[in-house]
């Protein structure tokens, strides 16, 4: 037997059960019953509807999130509900730390430019010094080579000639003195020379012999020792000058590379500092949040309205946190949760009517646009783990100027039953797991067990236990607490009453 939708809910059922069990004050089975608390059963058509309460949302919306790296406080925020144009400022975040970072980096840029200028000056000085040192080294090399050529081509030949000439002169003198001394004995005998003159000539021979031997010795020593030594010295000076030129160039290149390295380091540091400065300036600009399109300002995320309480001056916001939402009211829908027992009764394209608590008297038309494929447990406080599916109901019409996040009631017509017996939902209560109605007959009120069928928010079909024309009480005259009925298969309860149903 199918049972009415209102029995299936946890909280809703308990509330209804208390209503049915409490009855009217002082009512008992023997009390006089007010005619206004009676309903006469009758047959007729019964509209079957599914009613759920949900939240109005936009299919498309723009969420404004701060592009920050850590927590930043809100300095100012536009009033919620304000209408903005594209480019309007909606939030200003605290810029104190950002300004300090920019000032520090600007000072670092000044220091970096000064360091780069100094490095470039040092590099230029080093380049000039390297050029001077190289010129000096080249000059020393050229002097050494000239001295070597002078030695080979001038000094040695000249010295050799001088020494050879001395040998030749000494030999000639020696020969002449020998020839003269050879004639001395005969001249002495003839009386042309004295003994002392002869001795003197013989002494000259000895002196010339010594001079000749000395000249030959000097020539030999020069050729064998002094000349090679002087040549080696000059060659060593040339080699040393050439090596010194190489070393000078190497030292110059090393010094140049060092100075150039300092320049490049200063350039890189300056570039990095300027890049960081530009990045900080961009971050600074991002601390001013502007509306990317016109619309109405809503604090926080529409899907998590409790977060809107965090959007106020002085509160801290974090990366990727939605501060402002600007909904696109071109396409609006209501998100409802439907019990797993009723989900198969719905299909995409099914028409629905929507009413809004904020806009009394406004009746909107819509249709189901999406049915969730996975059920989620309802874990709100005070409610049981009932499995429900998310259903989107699109609202027809544009430029409705409605605010997302408000409560909306959706009523979906599931069908109409012909010629059925029905009673108001208030007339049915539960005891010991059985449905019953209190029937007044002949001035007495008796409890009668009934079998029930489908229902809407106000009326329920009675399949068995009542006859057309029976008068049933709209309350429980016993005043006993009604037992919670087991959740029937294939039924669920509406969250709240819709517009009056057609019996």
Is 499 part of a structural domain of the chain? no
Lowest mean pLDDT among 40-44, 114-118, 201-205, 485-489: 485-489
Is 322 part of a structural domain of the chain? no
**Helix axes 96-150 and 227-286, enclosed angle (nearest 10):** 170
Is 491 part of a structural domain of the chain? no
Q: Which two tokens stand for residue 400?
A: 């409705």
User: What is the rounded radius of gyration, in angstroms, for the C-alpha atoms of the chain?
Assistant: 61
Same domain flag for 251 and 136:
yes
Is 497 part of a structural domain of the chain? no
Pairing of strands 295-296, 42-58: unpaired
Instruction: Name the pLDDT band for 484 (thresholds 50, 70, 90).
Output: very low
How many residues in the chain?
A: 503
Query: Residues 249, 141: contact at Cβ < 8 Å?
Result: no
The residue among 414, 397, 488 whose CA lies nearest residue 457 is 414
The total number of structural domains in the chain stands at 3
- The CA distances from residue 487 to 53, 313, 339, 386, 434, in Å, are 20, 48, 11, 10, 12
Is 481 part of a structural domain of the chain? no
Say what percent of the chain tops pLDDT 70: 86
Which pLDDT value is given to residue 21?
A: 37
Q: Which two tokens stand for residue 390?
A: 């998310």
Same domain flag for 407 and 267:
no
Range of the domain at 424: 5-57+330-473
Same domain flag for 280 and 138:
yes
Same domain flag for 44 and 85:
no
Same domain flag for 163 and 53:
no
Q: Which two tokens stand for residue 47?
A: 């509209």
Q: What is d(CA 369, CA 350) in angstroms, rounded to the nearest whole number?
A: 8
Same domain flag for 180 and 121:
yes
- The CA distances from residue 261 to 113, 126, 268, in Å, are 16, 13, 10
pLDDT tens across 373-418, in order? Answer: 888 765 544 455 678 899 999 998 876 777 777 889 999 988 889 9
Same domain flag for 258 and 366:
no
Same domain flag for 435 and 350:
yes
Same domain flag for 273 and 297:
no
Q: What is the CATH number of the domain that holds 444?
A: 2.40.30.170
pLDDT tens across 175-197, in order? Answer: 888 888 887 787 777 777 778 88
Same domain flag for 170 and 114:
yes
User: What is 150-168 written as a DSSP string?
Assistant: HIIIIIHHHHHHHHHHHHH
Query: Residues 91, 78: contact at Cβ < 8 Å?
Result: yes
Q: What is d(CA 122, CA 460) in angstroms, rounded to the nearest whole number?
A: 99
Query: 10 Å Cβ neighbour count for 214?
Result: 13
pLDDT reading at 286 higher than 90: yes
Helix (H, G, I), strand (E, B) or coil at 43: strand
Is 166 part of a structural domain of the chain? yes
Which pLDDT value is given to residue 459?
A: 92
Same domain flag for 351 and 276:
no
Is 111 part of a structural domain of the chain? yes
pLDDT tens across 219-266, in order? Answer: 999 899 998 998 999 999 999 999 999 999 999 999 999 999 999 999
Same domain flag for 247 and 267:
yes
Q: What is the pTM of this model?
A: 0.55
């Amino acid at each position: 037997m199918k049972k009415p939708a209102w029995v299936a809910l946890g909280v809703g059922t308990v509330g209804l059960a208390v209503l049915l069990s409490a009855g009217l004050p002082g009512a008992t089975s023997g009390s006089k019953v007010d005619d206004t608390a009676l309903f006469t059963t009758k047959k007729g058509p019964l509209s079957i509807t599914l009613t759920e309460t949900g939240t109005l949302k936009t299919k498309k919306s723009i969420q404004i999130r701060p592009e920050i790296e850590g927590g930043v406080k809100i300095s100012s925020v536009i009033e919620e509900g304000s209408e903005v144009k594209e480019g309007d400022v909606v939030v200003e975040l605290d810029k104190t730390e950002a300004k300090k970072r920019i000032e520090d980096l600007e000072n670092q840029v000044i220091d970096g430019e000064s360091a780069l200028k100094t490095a470039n000056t040092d590099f230029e000085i080093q380049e000039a010094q390297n050029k001077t040192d190289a010129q000096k080294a080249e000059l020393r090399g050229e002097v050494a080579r000239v001295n070597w050529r002078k030695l080979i081509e001038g000094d040695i030949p000249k010295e050799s000639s001088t020494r050879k000439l001395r040998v030749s002169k000494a030999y000639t003198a020696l020969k002449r003195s020998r020839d003269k001394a050879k004639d001395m004995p005969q001249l002495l005998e003839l009386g042309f020379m004295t003994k002392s003159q002869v001795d003197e000539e013989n002494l000259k021979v000895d002196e010339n012999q010594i001079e000749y031997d000395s000249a030959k010795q000097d020539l030999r020593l020069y050729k064998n020792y002094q000349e090679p030594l002087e040549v080696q010295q000059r060659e060593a000076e040339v080699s040393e000058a050439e090596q010194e030129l190489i070393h000078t160039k190497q030292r110059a290149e090393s010094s140049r590379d060092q100075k150039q390295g300092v320049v490049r380091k200063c350039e890189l540091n300056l570039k990095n500092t300027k890049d960081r400065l530009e990045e900080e300036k961009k971050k600074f600009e991002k601390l001013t949040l502007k509306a990317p399109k016109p619309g109405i300002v809503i604090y926080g995320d529409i899907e998590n309205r409790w977060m809107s309480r965090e959007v106020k001056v002085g509160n801290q916001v974090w990366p990727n946190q939605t501060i402002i939402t600007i909904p696109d009211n071109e396409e609006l829908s209501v998100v409802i949760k439907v019990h797993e027992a009723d989900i198969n009764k719905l299909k995409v394209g099914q028409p629905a009517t929507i009413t809004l608590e904020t806009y009394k008297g406004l009746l909107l038309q819509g249709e189901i646009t999406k049915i969730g494929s996975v059920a989620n447990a309802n874990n709100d406080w005070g409610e049981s783990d009932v499995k429900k599916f998310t259903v989107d109901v699109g609202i027809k019409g544009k430029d409705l100027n409605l605010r997302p996040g408000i409560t909306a009631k959706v009523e979906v017509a599931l069908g109409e039953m012909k010629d059925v017996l029905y009673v108001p939902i208030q007339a049915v209560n539960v005891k010991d797991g059985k449905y019953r109605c209190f029937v007044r007959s002949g001035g007495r009120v008796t409890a009668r067990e009934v079998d029930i069928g489908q229902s809407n928010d106000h009326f329920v079909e009675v399949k068995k236990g009542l006859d057309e024309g029976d008068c049933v009480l709209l309350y429980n005259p016993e005043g006993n607490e009604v037992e919670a009925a087991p959740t029937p298969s294939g039924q669920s309860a509406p969250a709240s009453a819709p517009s009056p149903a057609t019996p």
